[in-house]
C-alpha cells in the first residue's frame, strides 16, 4: 500500500493517542465543587513526563487532575484584595477517592510508558530520525512511568507492540480506506465496509487514548 495519510487523518490519529490526559482533565474540571483527591502531571526541563499524587517541586508548573466525590462543603474564603466571598473547600480525601486517584495515576503512567516504549522502538530501530537527547528523554520517561512488576511490565510492552502496529503504514492506510468507504456518497456494499471495519477494530485500534 503506497497511499500517504492525509494531514486531516494524521491529526485525527495523533489526537486519539494523545487525548487521554486532556479528556480526563476537562471532565473533572467540569464536575461540581466537591471533595477532591489530586493527581499532578508535569514535564521537566529535560522533557521527561512526571506523574504523581504529590505536588511538584516549588516553581514547577503542573496540570492538576481532580477526582471529585459526591459530597460538598462550603466555606468562606478571603480573596487577595481583602474582600470575602463564598466558595467550596475540600475536606480530606476519602478512601474511595484515594483508590480512584491511584487507579487514575496507574492508568496515566501506563499511557506515558506505552507511548515512550513505542517511540523508543521506532527511533532506535532506524525507522525515524532521532538524537541522543531524544532517546535519553524517552528512556527516562519509560523508566519513570513503566511498572517494575514483571507481569504488569509485560502487559505494557504488549500494549506498546499493539500501538506500534496501529501506527504502522498498513494501519494508516486501512483507516484511510475505511474513512473513504464511509464517506457520504460512497456506494460500496455494506458487507465490504463491515469487513474493513472489523480489520481496523482488530488490528489497528490504539491501546491508549
DSSP letter assigned to residue 80: T
Contacts of residue 54, defined as CB under 8 A and 6 or more positions apart, other chains included, come to 40
* pTM, entire model: 0.62
Q: For the chain, first and last CA: distance in Å? A: 26
Output the nine-digit C-alpha cell for 69: 466525590
- How does pLDDT run along the chain (209 residues), one tens digit per residue? 434 444 444 444 444 444 444 444 434 443 333 335 678 889 888 889 899 888 888 888 988 887 665 443 333 332 233 434 344 455 677 888 888 888 889 999 999 999 999 999 988 887 778 889 999 999 999 999 999 999 999 999 999 999 999 989 999 999 999 999 999 988 889 999 999 999 999 999 999 87
Distance of CA 126 to CAs 94, 131, 135, Å? 48, 11, 12
Q: Per residue in 56-93, is it b (16+ CB within 10 Å) or e — as a string?
A: beeeeebeebbbbbeeeeeeeeeeeeeeeeeeeebeeb
| Residue 10 contacts residue 24 (beta carbons within 8 Å) | no
The count of C-alpha atoms lying within 13 angstroms of the C-alpha of 55, restricted to the half-sphere facing its C-beta, is 5
The residues with which 41 forms a beta bridge, in sequence order, are 51, 63
Which residues on neighbouring strands pair with residue 88, listed in sequence order? 74
Q: Where are the domains of the chain?
A: 168-209
Question: Residue 96: what are its φ and ψ, rounded to 5°?
Answer: -65, -40
Residue 179: CA atoms inside 13 Å, Cβ hemisphere, count? 13
Amino acid at each position: 500500500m503506497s497511499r500517504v495519510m492525509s494531514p486531516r487523518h494524521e491529526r485525527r490519529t495523533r489526537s486519539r493517542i494523545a487525548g487521554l490526559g486532556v479528556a480526563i482533565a476537562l471532565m473533572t474540571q467540569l464536575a461540581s465543587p466537591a471533595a477532591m483527591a489530586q493527581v499532578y502531571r508535569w514535564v521537566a526541563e529535560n522533557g521527561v513526563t512526571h506523574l504523581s499524587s504529590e505536588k511538584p517541586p516549588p516553581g514547577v508548573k503542573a496540570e492538576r487532575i481532580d477526582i471529585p466525590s459526591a459530597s460538598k462543603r462550603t466555606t468562606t474564603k478571603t480573596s487577595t484584595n481583602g474582600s470575602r466571598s463564598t466558595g467550596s473547600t475540600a475536606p480530606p480525601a476519602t478512601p474511595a477517592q484515594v483508590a480512584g486517584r491511584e487507579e487514575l495515576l496507574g492508568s496515566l503512567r501506563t499511557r506515558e510508558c506505552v507511548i515512550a516504549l513505542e517511540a523508543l522502538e521506532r527511533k532506535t530501530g532506524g525507522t525515524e530520525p532521532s538524537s541522543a537527547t531524544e532517546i535519553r528523554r524517552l528512556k527516562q520517561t519509560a523508566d519513570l512511568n513503566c511498572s517494575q512488576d514483571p507481569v504488569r511490565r509485560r502487559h505494557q510492552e504488549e500494549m506498546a507492540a499493539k500501538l506500534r502496529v496501529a501506527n504502522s503504514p498498513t494501519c494508516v492506510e486501512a483507516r484511510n480506506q475505511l474513512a473513504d468507504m464511509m464517506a457520504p456518497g460512497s456506494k460500496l456494499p455494506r458487507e465490504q465496509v463491515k469487513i474493513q471495519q472489523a480489520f481496523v477494530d482488530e488490528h489497528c485500534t490504539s491501546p491508549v487514548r
